[in-house]
Each structure stands twice: as C-alpha cells, then as structure tokens.
Amino acid sequence: MFSGGKKRGWGFARKKEEMGNAKETPQDPSELFTSLYDQYFDKVNRYLRYRIGNLWDADDVTAVVFTKAYEACKRDGISEHFGPWIFRVAQNAYVDYLRKRGRSLTVDQELHAEISDDSWQTEEEVMIQENTRTLHEMLAQLPDEYRDVVSLKYIAELKISEIADVLDKTEGAVKTLLYRAIRKLRGIYEEAERRERDE
C-alpha cells in the first residue's frame, strides 16, 4: 500500500490540529478513524474525481482507499501524519486504477455535466462553472508530475510539506514543480487566448 518515503511512527499520536480539545477528541480508535474519515473523505473523493475524470469510478476508488486505510489503521494504529498518508494511499490507488485500465483517462460526460449544469443558476454561477471547465481542460494538458502537485495543492488543499510527504519529494522540489506547473498553465491560457482572438 505504501510506496517509498520515510517510515512513520504509528500508534495513536495525533497532530495538535487534529486533536483539538482533548476532552472532545474520541479516544476509541474506531471513533478516531470515523472522525478522520469525516474530515478527509470529501477531499480525497474530490481529488480522485479530478484525477480519474469519471464520477462512478472515482467513488469506487475512494471506497477502496478508505477500506485499505481502515484495515491498515486497525492493524497498525493511526498515523500522526494521517492527512498526507491518506493521500499517499489515494495516489497509489489511482496508479493501480490506471494500471488496470491500461489507458490514459479523459473527463467523462457525467463530470462535464456536473461542472456545467446551469439549471437554476445565476449568470455568475454559470460563468464560474464555465471557467472551471476551461481550467480542467487546461490542467489535462499538463504532464503527470505537474498535475500531481496542482491537484494536491488546489483540489485536495494540502500544504507544501504535506504534498512533499505524499510524493516523497523535498519541499523545495514541490515548490519548483508547482512554479513550473503554474507557468505552463499560464502559457496554455495565453495560447488559448491568442487562438480565440485570431478566430
């Protein structure tokens, strides 16, 4: 389930922000996992929907991720670095999914429909969704390593240090990749603007 990276201490140590008020934090491992599940499920699912581009498959892979996570936590305890760890599990599950599919993925019609459904929406909401779809199409043109850092930063909303942990890279390497990805995106956007003006 894990690929590369440093071995983490297991047991039930938790980060301060994950612990909150000690009296309110569930002490039972099952309750703690449920709390972390609630905290991370939407982020992991959003990340996988973006990476896979197919809502049904992404939901299935999300279920696999949390099943594996539950089994590992039950066996080994809950990592104090649960956030980066669960995204490493998600990243590995995504790679397994691609390997089984044996093909590159494209965004399916259902995901486009979710992004572009403008029924009962204001003009501003429709514009935001149109921009979101355009951005999604631009991101699909990036190399995999750029998509990795962009999706973990802006879709999963992880910190640079957490992304470094997930990808088994230094923080400096992550910052460099993120800078290059944004520069590449800017180039793609400017090229699209030029083509639009020329039409």
How high is the pLDDT of residue 3?
37
Q: What confidence tier does 124 reach under pLDDT thresholds 50, 70, 90?
A: low
Mean pLDDT of the 6-23 span: 40
pLDDT in tens, 47-59: 998 888 788 899 9
Averaged pLDDT of the chain: 76
Pairwise CA distance, residues 14 & 186, whole Å: 39
Report all structural domains of the chain as residue ranges with CATH numbers, in order of start.
16-140 (1.10.1740.10)
| 142 pLDDT higher than 80 | yes
Neighbouring residues of 90: CB distance < 8 A, sequence distance ≥ 6:
44, 47, 48, 61, 62, 65
- How many percent of the chain have pLDDT more than 70? 69
Residue 138 has pLDDT above 90, yes or no: no
User: Are 88 and 162 in contact, with CB atoms under 8 Å apart?
Assistant: no
Percent of the chain past pLDDT 90, that is, above it, reads 34
Using CA atoms in the order 90, 93, 97, 100, what is the torsion angle rounded to 10 degrees? 170
> How confident is residue 103, by pLDDT bands cut at 50, 70 and 90?
low
